Chains A and B, each alone.
Chain A
Amino acid sequence: MRHVIKMVALGLILAFALLLAVVAGDYAPWYFAWLVGTTMIVLIAASGAVLFETQDAARDRRRDNL
């Protein structure tokens, strides 16, 4: 049952996102660009930090092997 509720919730979010994309694409292209662009900027910054941790861990492993 939890899975069904989860799927329905994600489906609703998807439907909302599609509706937003269609409406915003027609009436507010720059607002839509801001939403997509800001999400992308935040995710790229976050992925940079995750990459930092991966590089750090790899370096620690190399140091341990020496």
Chain B
Amino acid sequence: MINPTVVELSRLQFALTALYHFLFVPLTLGLSFILAAMETVYVITGKPIYKDMTQFWGKLFGINFAIGVATGLTMEFEFGTNWSMYSHFVGDVFGTPLAIEGLMAFFMESTFVGLMFFGWDRLSKPAHLAVTYLVALGSNLSALWILVANGFMQDPVGATFDPNTMRMQFTDLGALVFSQDAQAKFVHTSIAGFVTGALFVMGISAYYLLRRQHRDFAARSFRMAALFGVIASLAVVTLGDALGRMDYLVQRTKLAAIEGIWHTTTPPAAPWTIFALPDQSARKNIAAIEIPYVLTPLVTHSWNTAIPGIDSLEREAKPKIVNGIQAATALKAYAGTKNPAALAEFRKYQSDLGYGLLAQRYAPDQDLAKITKADLPGVVDRTAQATIPNVFVEFWSFRIMVAFGFAFIAVFAFGAYYSLKNELEEHPWMLKAAMWSIPLPVLVCEYGWIVAENGRQPWSVYGWLPTFVSASTHGVGYMVFSLVGFALLYSLFIAAELYLMFKYARLGPGFREAPAAAQAGAGPGLGRPGYANKSWE
């Protein structure tokens, strides 16, 4: 018997470690390319301040990178310890991108990070610049392979189930790597990291400008980050739309939950619900506020296509569940006897095997063989309802993500505008907005991850393997102990990160500081920023 408490604790533990880890990842993805941009300007112009900028922001990058790697290590082991059935079922497919990611992270990325930090006096300018670009590329390629693996969980392509080995067999690496889901997910996640990195640099620079510290340094950093961020924030919204379209094409239960669509929409164009309190038990949205004619063109790219609601998705799932129960029963018979008749029966229904495994949770004693004719409608109904993820969580995680995504465009646009006009210090509200926005992209990335992974439920591999049967058979005590251990350890990592980040950000760049007289505006020179004339002379 599978203990549902152990499964829920395993889920909680993985969610916790993934969310902790993902606090660090976006900043690494974005800051690495900002460093590359800064060093590019240093190599082109030869101005030492850009080297100072690369080194200072590089130091903060290094803190984040080190702690981020430490938090990521445990997750790969978790697949084996807590998700052994999952690892057995899709290990052949999932292990490949994960192994490549490990090689990327530990060989390419880490080697070049070392060269980047310690190679300033040992490498030529172009060689060091190449190293910085390789760090940025390596960081993002690491993310690529993780997201290729995750893309398989969302849209399993490039593999087939083999009843002899009882697991998914890899058939096509190209299909896996070039999966539309993996592609859309990678670009959206990576560019969300760019937004995080840009707001981090912009926010800390704003802090210096508000305190009238390191102004040469901060004004240039702010300019670069604002321009980097304004394009990235526009791109992340566009690419998010592409990902939403993917959900419409391959994960309709996720889309229905995101949009709180209980009943199939009636053409022409359906409204988009901007606010509602989805009630899953009553199967309706409470206090809904809708914008007409938005949802259909947004997701279907047409005006008159119906979007399936949760009720019709559940109806569509029911025959698959009945077939799946037959497939799972035949597979069990084949595994024991290698009977060709059982294999033929399995082949007939194998595409719905996952639905049969999902029904196992609701079968008497979790045994499909014990389902009687009288039980079957009840089991099918409960399983069909279970194919829908938590609508409230999905609905609101998505809206928080989108609302902040648009807010970031405004912050970057104002920042870029005032920076280009050299009027930053005349608008302290802008600087304060940038400074207080520093943690927001990280939280928004977390909400994005929740949308992606909560929306995949109840599957660990969409349509093939339910989460319920994916976990290891640990005891509750073991799971609680390890969960508490992880929470404490990872909280320690976060505390260390925050302490070091605050410490070094407050200390500031500390190189080639302009003399105090010039900082106060007593005479020209020393590369003082032009905007200074307007505000402090």
Chain B contact residues (Cβ within 8 angstroms of A): what range? Answer: 35 or more
**Measured CA separation A35–B457 after assembly (Å):** 32
Count chain A residues whose beta carbon lies closer than 8 angstroms to a beta carbon of B. 30
Choose one: A31, A40, A45, A64; the contact of B224 (CB below 8 Å).
A45
- Contact between chains at B227 and A29 (CB < 8 Å): no
The CB with the most chain B CB atoms within 10 A, among A42, A44, A59, is that of A42
Contacts of B50 in A (CB 8 A): 49
Interface residues of A in 44-58 (CB under 8 A from B): 44-53, 55-56, 58
Q: From the candidates B44, B174, B235, name the one contacting A27 in the complex (CB within 8 A).
A: B174
Residue among B47, B187, B191, B224 making CB contact with A46, cutoff 8 Å: B224
Answer yes or no: B69 CB below 8 A from chain A CBs.
no
B37 near A42: Cβ-Cβ < 8 Å: yes
- Report if B452 contacts A (CB, 8 A): no
Contact in complex: A45, B183 (CB < 8 Å): no
**Interface residue SS majority, chain A:** helix
User: SS class of chain B's interface: helix, strand, loop or mixed?
Assistant: helix
Given contacts A30-B187, A34-B187, A37-B191, whether A46 and B235 have CB atoms under 8 Å apart is no
Assess the B183–A30 pair: CB atoms within 8 A: yes
Q: Which residues of A contact B429 (CB under 8 A)?
A: none
Interface: B242 (CB within 8 A): yes
CA distance A48 to B177 in the complex (A): 35
* B529 and A63 within 8 A (CB): no
In the complex, chain A residues whose CB is within 8 Å of the CB of B194: 38, 41
Which residues of chain A in 6-55 are interfacial with respect to chain B, using CB atoms and an 8 Å cutoff? 27-31, 33-34, 37-38, 40-53, 55
Report Cα–Cα, A48/B226, bound state, in Å.
9
A46 touches B183 (CB 8 A): no
| B183–A42 CB distance below 8 A | no
**CA–CA, A47 to B524, complex, Å?**
25
Q: In the complex the two chains form, is B33's CB within 8 Å of A41's CB?
A: yes
Contacts of A48 in B (CB 8 A): 223-224, 226-227, 416, 419-420
Q: How far is the CA of A53 from the CA of B13 in the complex (A)?
A: 50
Task: Kindly state whether residue B228 has any CB partner on chain A within 8 Å.
Answer: yes
Assess the B183–A29 pair: CB atoms within 8 A: yes
Question: When the two chains form their complex, are residues A49 and B178 in contact, meaning their CB atoms are under 8 A apart?
Answer: no
Which chain B positions have C-beta within 8 A of A64?
524
Asked whether any CB of chain A lies closer than 8 Å to the CB of B533, the reply is yes
Pairwise interchain contact A46-B40, C-beta atoms closer than 8 A: yes
B232 touches A41 (CB 8 A): yes
Select which of A33, A44, A52 is within 8 A of B231 by beta carbon: A44
Given contacts A56-B529, A60-B524, A64-B524, contact A50 B228 (CB under 8 A): no
- Complexed CA–CA distance, A33 and B241 (Å): 15
Per-residue CB proximity of B186-201 to A under 8 Å, as 1/0? 1100110010000000
Instruction: Point out the residues of chain B lying under 8 angstroms from A58, CB to CB.
Output: 530
Which residues of the partner chain A approach B242 to less than 8 Å between Cβ atoms? Answer: 30
Q: How far is the CB of B198 from chain A (nearest CB, A)?
A: 8
In the complex, what residues of A have CB within 8 A of residue B439's CB? none
> Are B183 and A40 in contact, with the CB atoms below 8 A?
no
Q: Does B45 contact A (CB under 8 A)?
A: yes
Is B34's CB within 8 Å of the partner chain A? yes
User: Could you give 26 example pairs across A and B, Cβ below 8 Å?
Assistant: A28-B177, A30-B183, A30-B187, A30-B239, A31-B183, A34-B187, A34-B190, A38-B33, A40-B231, A41-B231, A41-B232, A41-B235, A42-B36, A42-B40, A42-B228, A44-B227, A44-B228, A47-B227, A48-B223, A49-B41, A51-B223, A52-B223, A52-B529, A53-B45, A56-B528, A60-B525
Seen from chain A, the residues whose Cβ lies within 8 Å of a Cβ on chain B are 27-31, 33-34, 37-38, 40-53, 55-56, 58-60, 63-64
Across the A-B interface, give the 9 residue pairs with the lowest CB-CB distance, nearest first.
Answer: A59-B530, A30-B183, A48-B227, A45-B228, A45-B37, A49-B41, A45-B224, A42-B37, A34-B187
